Amino acid sequence: TSQRPARPRVLLKAPTLAEMEEMNISEEEESP
């Protein structure tokens, strides 16, 4: 039998692949 959670799961907002890449690039630029 499946164990159902009592409350609904919280949707985790995710950036798009392109946004993720932009964030990654800016992080790399910041690091020495």
Partner 1 sequence: RQVTVQRKEKNFQGMLEYYKEDEPLLIRNLVTDLKPQTLSGTVPCLPAYILYMCIRHADYVNDDLKVHSLLTSTINGVKKVLKKHNDDFEMTSFWLSNTCRLLHCLKQYSGDEGFMTQNTPKQNEHCLKNFDLTEYRQVLSDLSIQIYQQLIKIAEGMLQPMIVSAMLENESIQGLSGVKPTGYRKRSSSMVDGDNSYSLDAIIRQMNSFHSVMCDQGLDPEIIQQVFKQLFYMINAVALNNLLLRKDVCSWSTGMQLRYNISQLEEWLRGKNLHQSGAAETMEPLIHAAQLLQLKKKTPEDAEAICTLCTSLSTQQIVKILNLYTPLNEFEERVTVAFIRTIQAQLQDRNDPQQLLLDFKHMFPVLFPFNPSSLTMDSIHIPAALNLEFLNEV
Question: Which residues of the shown chain bind partner 1 in the complex (CB under 8 A)?
Answer: 1-5, 8-17, 20-21, 23-24
- Look up tokens 């798009």; give the residue: 16
Nearer to partner 1, 13 or 32 (CB): 13
Q: How far apart are CA 18 and CA 21, in angstroms?
A: 5
Smallest gap from Cβ 5 to partner 1, in A, equals 5
Integer distance in angstroms from the first to the last C-alpha of the chain?
A: 53
Smallest gap from Cβ 28 to partner 1, in A, equals 10
Smallest gap from Cβ 15 to partner 1, in A, equals 8
